[in-house]
Structure 1
Amino acid sequence: MASIKDVALRARVSTTTVSHVVNRTRFVSDPVRHEVEAAIRELNYVPSAVARSLKSNSTKTIGMLIPNCSNPYFAEIVRSVEDHCFGAGYTLILCNTDDEPHRQSAYLQALTEKRIDGMIIISTGEGQDFQRMLHGLPIPMVLLDREIDEVNCDLVETAHLQGGLMATEHLIGLGHQRIACLAGPANLNSSAQRIEGWRSALAKAGLAADSSDLLWHSDFTSQGGFSTMQAILASPLAPTAVFVCNDLMSIGALSAAHQAGIQIPQQMSLIGFDDIELAKFASPALTTIAQPKLRIGIAAVDMLLERIQGGRIQTRQVILLPELIVRNSTTVVRPDH
C-alpha cells in the first residue's frame, strides 16, 4: 500500500505539501496540486484516517452499543442513528453486545481505544464494572432507551411508564379485568417502568396486580414470548388479556396462543410495545404502544454532536411520549369471561 512518502517522491514535492493537498489546509498552486493528485491516482494512495485524527483531534466517528441486533426495534433505531450521523458527516461503528455484560464492557473499551468522538449506548443491563467504565469515559456519550443508575449523562428515551399505563388502560377500557403482564428482564429500568405503568393502571381501576400468576418475566425475544405465553396459558386461571412488554415477545406469544388453539382477540386480547415494522404484518395485526424510533435516533445524535462540539455543559434528558396504535389483536371482553 502506497504511503504519503511514495506520493511525495512521485510528485517531486515534500510530504507536507501532499498533506496540504489532501487535507486542504493551505493554499497550493494549481500545477503542484495537479501533480500531487495525479500521483495519488497512479499509486491508489488512501490517506490515513488515524493520522488525520491525530492532527485534528477528531475522527468524525461515533460508536454505538446495542443489546441485540436481531431485535427489529434496535435495527430501526440504528437506521435512524446511522442516517443522521451520515448526514452530519460522521461514520457509525456499531457493536452488538448480545445481552452479555462482559461483551458490553469489552466493546466499550475497544471503541474508546479507537479514538471515536462520541458514543451512543443502549445498555444490556447494569453492572459495577460497566458503571465504573462509564464514569471514567473520556468522551461524550448519550444513553438511549435505557437509564443506568448512578450514571449522570445525556439520555433520550420513551416514557416507558406512560406507555405501560396507556396499554393497560386500553385493555381496561375494553372491559378486561384479569390482565397479565409479560415483562422483560427484571434488571432493566425500562422493563420496570412498563410494569409500574401496568400496576398503576390496574390500581386506578381497583383491579388486582399482586397475583403471582399475573406478572411474568422473559427476555425480550420471540422465543421468550412463546415459552412464557405457554406458561401463562397453562396457569390455573388464565387472563382475558395480556400486556406484552415488547413486540418481539408479542409475536412469540401470538404463535403460542395459535398453537394452543386460543383465538386472538376473540378469546384473549394481546397488546405489545414498540410498534416494530413487523407488528402490522402479524396475524392478527398487533395492537401496540409505538415508540417514536425515528425521533429517538435523531435526538440522540443531535445531543451527542452538541456535546462533541462543546456547545453544552449541563446534562439533559429528552423523554418522548409513546402512542397507542390500535389494530386487530385487542377487542371487547366476551360476556362469559
Structure 2
Amino acid sequence: MSATIKDVAQRAGVSTSTVSHVVNGTRYVSAGLRARISEVMQELDYRPNSLARSLRVRESRTIGLIVPDNTNPFFAEVSRAIEDIGFHEGYSVFLCNSDGRVEKERAYVNSLVTKRVDGIIFITSGGAIAPLQDLTRHDTPVVVVDREVPLSLADLVLLDNQTGGQLATRHLISLGHRRIGCITGPSMLTPSADRVLGYREAMDEADIPAKPEWIVGGDFRPAGGEAGMRELLDQPDAPTAVFACNDLMAIGALRAIRSAGLNVPADVSIVGFDDIPLASEVVPPLTT
C-alpha cells in the first residue's frame, strides 16, 4: 500500500500539517527539518496526491494539447516542442488526438477540464468553434495554434501562410516556370486558403494566369497529393511546376510524377510547405 502523509509525519516525528507545508511550500520550515522530511518521503517512496494539491492551490502543473492527428509529422513536431518546453518548466502534457472530429474535440475538452488542467493548447479541426465555446464557459485559458478563430475565444499563434505561399510560387517562377499548378489542402482550413491566396498573388504579380484547372483539391495527406498530381498531369496543358500546400502532399505528388515516368526537377518542379524532417529524406530532397 502506498505511503500516506500520516506515515511520513510519524516517521519524521512531526505533524501532518508540517509535512503538508513542505510538500506545498505554503509556510516556512527550517532547512534541517525540511531535509529530514524530504529524506523520509524518499525512504517511504511517498508521492503527494497531485489532484488533491491542485484543488488546494488551484494549479495542477498540467497542460492539455489537442491536435488533429499526431501521426502527421507537422503536428508531431509541434507536440514534441510543446512537451519539451512543458517539461523544462515543470509541466506535464496530456496529448489528445481528435482525428479532426468536433465530437472528439468536445469530449477531450470536457475530460481535460475535469482533470483541472491549467490550460489547453488547441489545433482545431477547422471552423467549428463549439469546443472553444465550451472552454470559455469553464474559464480555462486556451491558445489556438495555426487556426484562425475569434479572438474573444482564444489567444492565437499563427503562421504567415499567405507570405509562405507567395514565396513558394515566386521560387518556381524564378526558375522560369509559367505553367504552375497548386494542390490545396482542405478548403475549410484557413492555412490552406491563405497559402492558395499567396499562390494566386504571386502568379498575378508576375502576370501569369492561374487557370482554375491548375488548382486542385487535396487533403494534407500523401494520398491527396498523389491524386492531385495525377489530375494535373492528365491535363493537355499540364503544369511544369507545382506548389503543394504541405510537404506530405508534395511527397505524394513526387510518387505520382515517378509513376508517370517523369523526373523531378528535369520534367516537373515541386515545392512543399512546412519543412518537415521527412522532406530532406525523400529522393530527390524536397524543396519546402
Normalization by structure 2: what TM-score? 0.91
State the 1:68 CA deviation. 1.4
The amino acid across from 2:188 in the alignment is N
* d(CA) in 2 for partners of 1:228, 1:20: 62
* d(CA) in 1 for partners of 2:32, 2:223: 65
Tell me the equivalent position of 2:44. 43
Q: Residue 158 of structure 1: SS of its match in structure 2?
A: coil
State the 1:219 CA deviation. 1.3
Task: Please list, as runs of the form range in 1=range in 2, the aligned pairs for 1:1-337 lying within 5 A after superposition.
Answer: 1-28=2-29, 33=34, 36-37=37-38, 39-149=40-150, 151-211=152-212, 213-288=213-288
* d(CA) in 2 for partners of 1:153, 1:17: 40
The structure-2 alpha-carbon separation of the partners of 1:142 and 1:101, relative to structure 1 and needing over 3 Å to count, comes to same
Tell me the equivalent position of 1:292. none
Tell me the equivalent position of 1:293. none
Where does structure 2 lack aligned partners over 5 or more consecutive residues?
A: none
* d(CA) in 1 for partners of 2:151, 2:158: 17
Could you give the per-residue CA deviations for residues 175-204 of structure 1, whole angstroms, max 9, x where no partner exists? 211211101100001110001111111122
* d(CA) in 2 for partners of 1:57, 1:110: 17
Q: Which has the higher contact order (CA 8 A, sep 6+)?
A: 1
Could you give the per-residue CA deviations for residues 224-262 of structure 1, whole angstroms, max 9, x where no partner exists? 212222222223432111100001111111112112211
* d(CA) in 1 for partners of 2:137, 2:198: 34
* d(CA) in 2 for partners of 1:165, 1:87: 36
The structure-2 alpha-carbon separation of the partners of 1:150 and 1:210, relative to structure 1 and needing over 3 Å to count, comes to farther
State the 1:35 CA deviation. 5.7
Asked if the contact 2:244/2:270 (under 8 Å) is kept, the reply is yes
The structure-2 alpha-carbon separation of the partners of 1:151 and 1:228, relative to structure 1 and needing over 3 Å to count, comes to farther
* d(CA) in 1 for partners of 2:247, 2:283: 13
Q: Residue 287 of structure 1: SS of its match in structure 2?
A: coil
The structure-2 alpha-carbon separation of the partners of 1:273 and 1:45, relative to structure 1 and needing over 3 Å to count, comes to same
Could you give the per-residue CA deviations for residues 51-103 of structure 1, whole angstroms, max 9, x where no partner exists? 22122211121211111111111222222222222222222222121222221
* d(CA) in 2 for partners of 1:121, 1:80: 14
* d(CA) in 2 for partners of 1:75, 1:257: 27
The amino acid across from 2:244 in the alignment is V
The structure-2 alpha-carbon separation of the partners of 1:24 and 1:223, relative to structure 1 and needing over 3 Å to count, comes to same
Asked if the contact 2:229/2:257 (under 8 Å) is kept, the reply is yes
Asked if the contact 1:131/1:151 (under 8 Å) is kept, the reply is no
Asked if the contact 2:66/2:105 (under 8 Å) is kept, the reply is yes
Q: Residue 157 of structure 2: SS of its match in structure 1?
A: strand
Q: Residue 272 of structure 2: SS of its match in structure 1?
A: strand
The percentage of counterpart residues that share the same residue type is 46
139-148 or 179-188: bigger deviation: 139-148
Query: How many residue pairs get matched?
Result: 287
Where does structure 1 lack aligned partners over 5 or more consecutive residues?
A: 289-337
* d(CA) in 2 for partners of 1:149, 1:23: 38
The structure-2 alpha-carbon separation of the partners of 1:30 and 1:78, relative to structure 1 and needing over 3 Å to count, comes to closer
Asked if the contact 1:126/1:148 (under 8 Å) is kept, the reply is yes
The amino acid across from 2:222 in the alignment is S
Normalization by structure 1: what TM-score? 0.78
* d(CA) in 2 for partners of 1:87, 1:12: 34
Q: Residue 195 of structure 1: SS of its match in structure 2?
A: helix
Asked if the contact 1:121/1:141 (under 8 Å) is kept, the reply is yes
* d(CA) in 1 for partners of 2:21, 2:141: 30
* d(CA) in 2 for partners of 1:186, 1:24: 51
Could you give the per-residue CA deviations for residues 144-177 of structure 1, whole angstroms, max 9, x where no partner exists? 1121256543212221000111111111122211
Once superposed, what is the RMSD of the aligned Cα atoms? 2.1
Asked if the contact 2:184/2:218 (under 8 Å) is kept, the reply is yes
State the 1:34 CA deviation. 5.9
